[in-house]
Amino acid sequence: MARKRIKIAPSMMCADFLNMKGQLELFERTGVDYLHVDIMDGHYVPNFTLGPDFCRVLDGGSSIPLDIHLMIEDVDRYIPDFAGFEGAVVSFHPEVSYHPIRSLQLIKSCGARAGIALDPALGLESIRYLLPEVSLVCVMTVNPGYAGQTLIPQALPKIKELAGYISGQGLQVEIEVDGNVSWQNIPDMLEAGADVLVAGSSSIFKSGEDLEENIQRLKNLVNKKS
């Protein structure tokens, strides 16, 4: 059976903020699939990054759908600020919600597709009953909160296990891998069943390297596996 086309999602927290317009034009020209936007509140993770205004700029500056990764605590309060963007998918970490299915329903009622983000320490058992409600699972392969970290190897087998479960259940859920998606790690991530790669400082945004060349390199790498 032909493998689904692998999708690329640049991690916008790693972007060059002094050249955002040029990068969005390059993303549209080269054809990336999502803009991965990490939202951090300094509580769920010990870091701050981007917010709703930044999402509005991205949404107005390109036609590429937003893939908003909420690494925040009070998720039900803030979902409406992020889930209204056309074509967006909004993910959160279910341990922050008293009633994660209700939070997923709130995302969908605001017009976005719903996703779940899985901390490297948590197993599939923690999201089994959420999978029928989501379009995407963001499997984190680093601890949430910072770019530039190293892969947590025990997170890799989760991708394969999740791919097997999704296929066995006949669910339509994309598996996104987020964290240290590097040239070295990508083959194993794809082999395990990743559908969407979050491309950050480990690949396309490697400092001192040409973004367009790295996007092409990433596309070549994933096309070999598609």
| Residues engaged in binding Zn ion (CB under 5 A) | 38, 69, 178
Q: Can you give the three-state secondary structure of 40-77, one letter per residue?
A: EECCCCCCECCCHHHHHHHHHHCCCCEEEEEECCCHHH
CB closer to Zn ion out of 38 and 119: 38
In the shown chain, the binding pattern of residues 34 to 53 toward ligand DX5, with x for contact by CB under 6 A and - for none, equals: --x-x---------------
Q: Which does 180 bind (CB under 5 to 8 A by kind): Zn ion, ligand DX5, none?
A: ligand DX5
**C-alpha 92 chain-centroid distance:** 10
Secondary structure element (H or E) that encloses residue 89, with its range: strand 89-92
Among 42, 148, 164, 187, which residue sits at the site for ligand DX5 (rule: CB under 6 A)? Answer: 148
Structural contact between residues 77 and 51, judged by C-beta atoms closer than 8 angstroms: no
* Catalytic annotation, residues: 38, 178
- By the rule CB under 6 A, 145 interacts with ligand DX5: yes
Query: Rounded CA gap, 141 and 176, in Å?
Result: 10
Q: Which of 6, 8, 10, 11 binds ligand DX5 (CB under 6 A)?
A: 11
Report how many residues bind ligand DX5 under the rule CB under 6 A.
21
3 state SS of 117: strand
Chain residues that interact with ligand DX5, rule: CB under 6 A: 11, 13-14, 36, 38, 69, 142, 144-149, 178-181, 198, 200-202
